[in-house]
């Protein structure tokens, strides 16, 4: 005889069906098309292609030679290299992997929210309501449209982290704190450090408020013990994610984000006017910015449920805790619109690393979903007083006024599709709320509310789920045909934006061409400064993840660097984008005898800007290495007859060369200098020198030699060791803990 299905099992089945229904028309389509947004085109498709190629060839994707003249790849968290979902991309076709990854994480977000709210309220219906509101909210759906895969990963795990923390607070079980730490570690591996940072901050706040508001008679030493146990979460999270965190911390220390102004950090703040997006998610007006950074829509009915949960819920402890956190979260998203954010910028460590305060809407939507669950729980289990019902009706009238006043102020036509939808949703919400006055069957009311929450979000966002075609994505661009017909060790300068150009800097992994541009959240500061310094263009303060369009104007800026080996450049002209070719380009490797010793790295640019500077005759070093270096003389050195340099093997993490030099010289590589690169001459380790501001070089003696450059960053191996120790230690500690507990 089959066992009766439990309420959680039934709820999980309902959430699975609703998720499939929501994405149905984007799941069952022709092969080669898949769910993916703007940044999937621009970077993530190509990142995952590189990860797939690397792992299937038996190597770890530590260094990507195809963008930014070669850059740390693993250290950049956005490709989520060691996140479990990466297995989809390695072993499945990429289109299928992107679709599965997206839908699975939306479902995971729903499940996590369900279990968290059910633990808080002991109500299955409340859990279902919160799960629908959170997982199908504007934050998730707009991130899918944007192609922000790491942000979807991070947001999906937020409720799971809070769920296990809440379980630990209720049952005082170390096991749940360990699980919370594991999920926080997975969230960090998921690729977006900003959301992990916010999750950690608000999790600590939640834990502190819950301990302070706990009405159980717990002695002070017991409360302090509980707070100390909380440290298990960040410790375990760090241990699990150390393989990603340590390289990322090293990369950050070398990047253009080592120090940022408040203007940079507060870029992308959520203006007070944008709270109107809670009522009309996509208004047709130029007076209000509405994009994936400001998406916060959770459904109109959920606003009323959240209001009920905050002010009328009998679960005062959770309502107060959530209300305080929601207020603080709102001050985060407001950014420069509140003086509090400047205090956060000054006082909170590492906050200055992140821009776009509006990304904290993930926390706002999470807390609004929790309050909506508290509100539905109150409706389903308790009766509202006459005064409370009157307040709810009054709040509906206020929302109607705000809706019409906002439309008038922002010049949104009432006849627009968005306004008509918002008015209809508001009227339907009022009709549902009016049933509280007459319908006695609370079960039916709760089901109607849950159904309407789904219908609202389905009608708003299901039509907006983007679909990409792999065939279209992989279609060869006209410029790429030039690179294909002219293979060789050179680089190309291609813009990041423009008609037909988006994603081109990241496509090198497909066409196996090497670019000086790219599309990543952070780049090496020295390289950033070098590119703009050589072009004599003021570097942008706010726009950094790809090079500014000024570098690709028809003024020679794209060829301003002699040392990066740029042969082709796509430049913008009055008649459109054109391919241009350099008269000469630097070879990827060369032997150089003469040197200039210039301790100040900033002075290197002045030497290299001199029209007489020849990178094949003179190398610029920060320090002298005797007996191989000499001061610059009036007579420039000339290449000796018989000098040869041959690249025998060129891989992302390794370059092998054969060198024949008639005298002591420097082997100069047109490859970026970065800590972690090791050099070996005839198997003997040699110091890698910083040359010509951004390049790497090694000294070689007279004769024939084999030279190898290998990328082995210590931060990766240290992180790998910590992660492995953590993964092996957790089961052992788990067994010891339960054995001692059983004794």
> Over 90: is that where the pLDDT of 329 sits?
yes
Lowest mean pLDDT among 4-8, 255-259, 451-455, 704-708: 4-8
- pLDDT in the model for residue 637: 40
Q: Which residues contact 214 (CB under 8 A, 6 or more apart)?
A: 169, 223, 317
- With b for 16 or more beta-carbon neighbours within 10 A and e for fewer, the 458-477 pattern comes to bebbbeebbebebeebeeeb
Number of CB atoms found within 10 A of residue 19's CB: 23
Q: How far apart are CA 63 and CA 712, in angstroms?
A: 10
> Over 60: is that where the pLDDT of 223 sits?
no
> Over 70: is that where the pLDDT of 304 sits?
yes
Torsion angles phi and psi, residue 669, rounded to 5:
-105, 135
**Strand, helix or coil at 292?**
coil
Domains assigned to the chain: 7-30+74-464 (no CATH), 31-73+476-586 (no CATH), 589-712 (2.60.40)
Q: Are 251 and 344 in contact (CB under 8 A)?
A: no
What confidence tier does 230 reach under pLDDT thresholds 50, 70, 90? confident
> Over 70: is that where the pLDDT of 439 sits?
no
How many whole angstroms from its chain centre is CA 499? 25
Q: What radius of gyration do the chain's Cα atoms show?
A: 29
What confidence tier does 441 reach under pLDDT thresholds 50, 70, 90? confident
Q: Are 502 and 495 in contact (CB under 8 A)?
A: no
Q: How far apart are CA 384 and CA 382, in angstroms?
A: 7
- pLDDT in the model for residue 495: 87
- pLDDT in the model for residue 636: 38
Residue appearing with tokens 């109150």: 378
Percent over 70 (pLDDT), the chain: 92
Question: Left (φ > 0), alpha (ψ -120 to 50) or beta: where does 229 sit?
Answer: alpha
| Higher per-residue confidence, 695 vs 393 | 695
Kindly state the average pLDDT of the residues 100-128: 95
Q: How far apart are CA 52 and CA 335, in angstroms?
A: 38
- pLDDT in the model for residue 222: 55
- pLDDT in the model for residue 700: 92
CA angle at 508 for the pair 91 and 191, rounded to the nearest 5°: 55
**Strand, helix or coil at 672?**
strand
| Higher per-residue confidence, 585 vs 630 | 585
**pLDDT tens digits, one per residue of 53-110:** 999 999 999 999 999 999 999 999 999 999 999 999 999 999 999 999 999 999 999 9
- Total residue count of the chain as it appears in this document: 743
Highest mean pLDDT among 28-37, 274-283, 501-510: 274-283
Dihedral in degrees, nearest 10, Cα atoms 373, 374, 375, 379: 100
| Helix spans in 348-488 (H) | 361-381, 386-409, 417-438, 442-461, 470-474, 478-485
Element spanning 252, H or E: helix 232-254
**pLDDT tens digits, one per residue of 466-500:** 999 999 889 888 888 888 888 888 999 888 876 66
User: Quick one: tokens of 559?
Assistant: 């060829």
Kindly state the average pLDDT of the residues 667-687: 94
Q: Which residues contact 276 (CB under 8 A, 6 or more apart)?
A: 283, 288, 402, 406, 410
> Over 50: is that where the pLDDT of 420 sits?
yes
Q: For the chain, give me the number of helices (H) and strands (E)? A: 26, 19
| 468 bridge partner residues | 34
Kindly state the average pLDDT of the residues 515-543: 87
User: Quick one: tokens of 455?
Assistant: 């219908």
What confidence tier does 741 reach under pLDDT thresholds 50, 70, 90? low
Mean per-residue pLDDT over the chain, rounded: 87
| 646 bridge partner residues | 658
Q: How far apart are CA 382 and CA 429, in angstroms?
A: 20
Lowest mean pLDDT among 81-85, 152-156, 220-224, 430-434: 220-224
How many whole angstroms from its chain centre is CA 581? 35
Cis peptide before 627 (omega within 30 of 0): yes
Lowest mean pLDDT among 78-92, 125-139, 227-241: 227-241
- pLDDT in the model for residue 633: 33
Q: How far apart are CA 490 and CA 34, in angstroms?
A: 34
Kindly state the average pLDDT of the residues 443-450: 88
Kindly state the average pLDDT of the residues 226-240: 86
| 645 bridge partner residues | 659
| Higher per-residue confidence, 604 vs 92 | 92
**pLDDT tens digits, one per residue of 168-194:** 988 767 889 999 999 999 999 998 999
Q: How far apart are CA 268 and CA 126, in angstroms?
A: 33
- pLDDT in the model for residue 386: 78
Q: How far apart are CA 426 and CA 433, in angstroms?
A: 10
Number of CB atoms found within 10 A of residue 414's CB: 12
Kindly state the average pLDDT of the residues 574-581: 84
Number of CB atoms found within 10 A of residue 436's CB: 17
| Helix spans in 214-352 (H) | 220-230, 232-254, 262-265, 300-311, 316-334, 339-347
Number of CB atoms found within 10 A of residue 358's CB: 25
Percent over 90 (pLDDT), the chain: 54
| 697 bridge partner residues | 668, 689
Kind of pairing, strands 71-72 and 491-493?
unpaired
| Helix spans in 582-705 (H) | 604-609
Lowest mean pLDDT among 73-82, 209-218, 458-467, 685-694: 209-218
Kind of pairing, strands 644-651 and 566-573?
unpaired
Q: How far apart are CA 530 and CA 508, in angstroms?
A: 22
User: Quick one: tokens of 242?
Assistant: 């150390």
Question: Left (φ > 0), alpha (ψ -120 to 50) or beta: where does 658 sit?
Answer: beta
> Over 90: is that where the pLDDT of 455 sits?
yes
What confidence tier does 511 reach under pLDDT thresholds 50, 70, 90? confident
**What Å distances lie between residue 4 and 12, 69, 107, 548, 734, CA to CA?**
15, 61, 24, 62, 32
What confidence tier does 556 reach under pLDDT thresholds 50, 70, 90? confident
Lowest mean pLDDT among 96-105, 362-371, 563-572, 712-721: 563-572
What confidence tier does 575 reach under pLDDT thresholds 50, 70, 90? confident
Q: How far apart are CA 453 and CA 47, in angstroms?
A: 36
User: Quick one: tokens of 662?
Assistant: 């008639």
- pLDDT in the model for residue 3: 43
Q: Are 118 and 127 in contact (CB under 8 A)?
A: yes
Q: How far apart are CA 500 and CA 136, in angstroms?
A: 32
N-term to C-term CA, the chain: 38
**Stated pTM of the model:** 0.92
Kindly state the average pLDDT of the residues 433-438: 77
- pLDDT in the model for residue 353: 85
């Amino acid at each position: 005889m089959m066992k009766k299905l439990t309420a959680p099992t039934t709820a999980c089945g309902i959430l699975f069906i609703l998720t499939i229904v929501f994405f149905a028309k984007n799941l069952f389509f022709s092969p080669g098309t898949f769910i993916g947004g703007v940044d999937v085109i621009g970077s993530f498709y190509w990142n995952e292609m590189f990860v797939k190629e690397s792992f299937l060839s038996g190597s770890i994707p530590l260094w990507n030679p195809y963008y930014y003249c070669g850059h740390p790849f693993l250290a950049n968290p956005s490709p989520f290299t060691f996140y479990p979902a990466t297995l989809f991309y390695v072993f499945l076709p990429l289109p299928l992997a992107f679709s599965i990854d997206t839908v699975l994480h939306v479902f995971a977000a729903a499940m996590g929210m369900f279990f968290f709210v059910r633990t808080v309220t002991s109500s299955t219906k409340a859990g279902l309501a919160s799960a629908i509101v959170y997982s199908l909210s504007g934050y998730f759906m707009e991130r899918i449209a944007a192609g922000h895969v790491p942000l979807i990963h991070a947001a999906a795990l937020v409720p799971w982290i809070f769920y296990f923390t809440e379980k630990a607070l209720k049952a005082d079980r170390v096991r749940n704190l360990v699980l919370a730490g594991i999920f926080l570690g997975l969230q960090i591996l998921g690729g977006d450090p900003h959301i992990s940072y916010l999750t950690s901050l608000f999790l600590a706040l939640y834990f502190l408020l819950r301990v302070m508001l706990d009405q159980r008679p717990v002695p002070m030493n017991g409360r302090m013990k509980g707070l100390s146990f909380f440290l298990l979460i960040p410790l375990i999270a760090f241990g699990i994610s150390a393989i990603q965190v340590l390289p990322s911390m090293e990369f950050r220390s070398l990047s253009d984000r080592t120090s940022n102004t408040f203007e940079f950090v507060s870029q992308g703040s959520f203006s007070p006017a944008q709270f109107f997006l809670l009522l009309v998610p996509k208004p047709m007006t130029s007076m209000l910015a509405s994009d994936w950074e400001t998406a916060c829509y959770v459904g109109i009915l959920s606003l009323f449920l959240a209001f009920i949960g905050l002010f009328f819920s009998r679960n005062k402890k959770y309502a107060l805790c959530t209300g305080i956190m929601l207020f603080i979260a709102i001050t985060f998203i407001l950014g420069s619109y509140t003086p509090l954010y400047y205090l956060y910028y000054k006082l909170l460590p590492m906050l200055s690393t992140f821009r776009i305060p509006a990304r904290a809407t993930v926390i706002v939507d999470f807390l609004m979903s929790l309050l909506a669950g508290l509100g539905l729980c109150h409706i389903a289990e308790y009766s509202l007083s006459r005064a409370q019902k009157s307040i709810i009706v009054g709040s509906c009238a206020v929302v109607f006024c705000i809706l019409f006043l906002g439309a008038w102020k922002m010049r949104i036509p009432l006849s627009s599709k968005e306004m008509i939808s918002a008015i209809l949703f508001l009227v339907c919400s009022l009709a549902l709320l009016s049933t509280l006055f007459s319908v006695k069957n609370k079960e039916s009311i709760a089901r109607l509310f849950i159904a309407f929450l789904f219908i609202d979000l389905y009608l708003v966002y299901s039509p907006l789920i983007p679909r990409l075609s792999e065939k279209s994505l992989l279609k060869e661009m006209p410029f790429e045909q030039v690179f294909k017909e002219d293979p060789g060790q050179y680089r190309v300068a291609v813009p990041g934006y423009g008609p037909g150009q988006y994603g081109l800097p990241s496509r090198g992994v497909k066409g196996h061409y090497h670019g000086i541009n790219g599309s990543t959240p952070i780049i090496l500061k020295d390289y950033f400064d070098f590119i703009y310094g050589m072009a004599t263009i003021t570097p942008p303060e706010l726009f950094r993840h790809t090079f500014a369009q000024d570098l690709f104007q028809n003024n020679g800026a794209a060829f301003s660097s002699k040392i990066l080996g740029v042969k082709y450049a796509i430049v913008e002209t009055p008649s459109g984008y054109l391919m241009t070719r350099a008269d000469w380009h630097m070879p990827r490797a060369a032997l150089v005898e003469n040197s200039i010793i210039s301790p100040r790295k900033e002075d290197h640019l002045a030497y290299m800007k001199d029209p007489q500077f020849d990178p094949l005759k003179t190398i610029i070093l920060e320090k002298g290495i005797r007996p191989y270096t000499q001061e610059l003389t009036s007579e420039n050195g000339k290449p000796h007859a018989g000098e040869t340099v041959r690249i025998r093997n060129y891989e992302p993490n390794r370059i092998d060369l054969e060198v024949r030099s008639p005298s002591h010289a420097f082997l100069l590589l047109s490859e970026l200098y970065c800590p972690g690169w090791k050099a070996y001459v005839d198997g003997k380790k040699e110091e890698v020198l910083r040359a010509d501001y951004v390049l790497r070089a090694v000294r070689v003696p007279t004769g024939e030699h084999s030279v190898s450059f290998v990328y082995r960053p210590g931060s990766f191996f240290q992180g790998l060791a910590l992660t492995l120790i953590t993964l092996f230690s957790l089961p052992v500690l788990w067994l010891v803990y339960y054995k001692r507990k059983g004794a």
